[in-house]
């Protein structure tokens, strides 16, 4: 059944919980909108048990429900209305060019030919579309087509209902991320997760290019574990505090670690550069001049500086708290540390702001 992007939202609310279910963690943000000022009421992050979510698919709904219940008990949220993201790895997004036509005509055209564009079995997915701008000629327009397997959406909804929440919306991560930005019209965003990342190019306020890449924060963690024979928790702590990427002379003990981590950075750069080249080939009069970095994996020390050194445009760690009012009772030091990890959850909760 054809759906407009707005119909993913079942009803509006000014007080929402955003829930971002990753591969390794669940992130939660509760936001109340008072007037024009969104207020961050609660936030929390909790690790997921192994083999709960794999490659974007929920493989153990019982474990997920139990973990989400624990997370809710930690935060004592007041709202029951929740917005949840459809995971990036199981979301298909593609920019298409069509002759100019009405929205109704476009809906009919996509409905009849959707099988040509989406690599899922017919009848097994929900899809949506939005006109995102003009084409390369005055008689063309660009359309963003997104789709996700029905099984995945239905499982997420069941889990949310089981823990006593009301799923008022199922969203996609690129749109959730866009809501945290105040000044992005034509920029690139890379959201670095645990084991994969999303590269998104925004054009005139809409996601124009969306790519999933098989790289994430755990690639850096694995390097430290392998080279220094550390366990996971030790390696995680070290990668955020030891300044390995920033030092010109790290000594023999860390030199192999540094060289291997630089190789991972170079892989990120290759994916970013290819995405930028593709976008600019399709949009001759557009130019990407900055990349914003967010997500839990973005907290690697000096990562954005290394990207900037290797790219033709600067990379900047983006603070998703920019649009929010922060109550006095929230512990600011810890919140600032984990803020990049909360980006998608915050964007989901901002869905209630009546944008």
- Does the pLDDT value for residue 17 go beyond 70? yes
What pLDDT sits at residue 3?
A: 38
Of residues 237 and 184, more confidence is placed in: 237
Q: Which position has the higher pLDDT, 54 or 226?
A: 226
Q: Identify whether residues 169 and 78 lie together within a single domain.
A: yes
Number of domains composing the chain:
2
Q: What percent of the chain has pLDDT over 90?
A: 27
Does residue 171 share a domain with residue 76? yes
**166 and 275 in a common domain:** no
In a domain, 204, yes or no: yes
Examine the domain organization and report whether 6 and 78 are in the same domain. Answer: yes
Locate 101 and state its tokens.
Answer: 């036509």
Residue 18 lies in a domain: yes
Residues 166 and 265 reside in one and the same domain: no
Number of continuous H segments (helices) and E segments (strands) in the chain: 10, 16
Give the range of the structural domain holding residue 271, as residue numbers without chain letter: 182-318
Residue 25: name the closest of 347, 343, 351, 341 by CA. Answer: 341
User: Could you report the per-residue pLDDT of 139-160, keeping only the tens digit for each?
Assistant: 888 888 888 888 888 899 999 9
Supply the DSSP symbol for 9: B
Is 67 within the bounds of a domain?
A: yes
84 domain residue, yes or no: yes
| Chain segment 168-205, per-residue pLDDT in tens | 988 888 888 888 875 656 689 999 988 889 998 887 76
Pair 187, 265 in one domain = yes
- Find the CATH number of the domain harbouring 40: 3.30.420.40
Q: Which of 82-91, 240-249, 276-285, 299-308 has the lowest mean pLDDT?
A: 240-249
Query: In terms of domains, do 201 and 186 share one?
Result: yes
Q: How far apart are CA 130 and CA 137, in angstroms?
A: 19
| β-pairing verdict for 291-294 and 315-317 | parallel
346, with CB counted inside 10 A (0-12, 13-18, 19+), is buried
**Which pTM was predicted?**
0.84
How many other CB atoms sit within 10 Å of the CB of residue 30? 26
Which tokens go with 9?
């939202």
Write out the DSSP string of 97-164. Answer: EEES--HHHHHHHHHHHHHHH--S-TTSEEEEEEEEEE-SSTTEEEEEEEEEEHHHHHHHHHHHHHTT
Residue 51 placed within a domain: yes
**Same structural domain, 157 and 273:** no
Residues 193 and 75 in one domain: no
Average pLDDT, the chain: 83
Residue 268 placed within a domain: yes
Identify whether residues 234 and 188 lie together within a single domain: yes
């Amino acid at each position: 059944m054809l759906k407009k992007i707005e119909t993913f939202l079942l009803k509006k609310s000014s007080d929402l919980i955003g829930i971002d279910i990753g591969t390794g963690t669940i992130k939660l943000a509760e936001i109340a909108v008072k007037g024009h000022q969104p207020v961050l009421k609660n936030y929390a992050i909790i690790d997921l048990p192994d083999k709960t979510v794999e490659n974007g698919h929920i493989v153990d709904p019982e474990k997920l429900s139990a973990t989400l219940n624990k997370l809710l008990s930690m935060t004592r949220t007041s709202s029951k209305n929740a917005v949840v993201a459809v995971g990036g790895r199981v979301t298909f997004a593609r920019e298409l060019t069509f002759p100019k036509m009405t929205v109704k005509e476009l809906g009919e055209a996509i409905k009849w030919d959707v099988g040509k564009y989406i690599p899922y079995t017919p009848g097994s997915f929900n899809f949506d579309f939005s006109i995102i701008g003009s084409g390369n000629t005055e008689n063309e327009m660009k359309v963003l087509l997104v789709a996700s397997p029905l099984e995945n959406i239905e499982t997420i909804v069941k889990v949310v209902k089981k823990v006593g929440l009301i799923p008022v919306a199922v969203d996609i991560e690129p749109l959730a991320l866009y809501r945290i930005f105040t000044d992005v019209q034509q920029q690139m965003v890379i959201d670095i997760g645990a084991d994969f990342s999303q590269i998104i190019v925004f054009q005139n306020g809409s996601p124009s290019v969306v790519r999933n890449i098989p790289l994430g924060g755990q690639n850096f963690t694995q390097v430290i574990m392998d080279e220094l024979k550390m366990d996971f928790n030790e390696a995680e702590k070290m990668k955020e505090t030891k300044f390995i990427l920033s030092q010109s002379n790290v000594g023999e003990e860390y030199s192999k670690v540094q060289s291997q981590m630089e190789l991972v950075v170079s892989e990120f750069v290759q994916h970013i550069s290819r995405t930028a080249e593709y976008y600019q080939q399709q949009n001759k009069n557009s130019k990407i001049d900055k990349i914003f970095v967010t997500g839990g994996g973005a907290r690697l020390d000096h990562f954005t500086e290394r990207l900037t050194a290797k790219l033709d445009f600067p990379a900047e760690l983006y603070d998703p708290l920019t649009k929010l009012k922060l109550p006095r009772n929230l512990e600011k030091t810890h919140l600032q540390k984990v803020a990049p990890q909360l980006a998608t959850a915050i964007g989901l909760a901002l869905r209630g702001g009546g944008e």
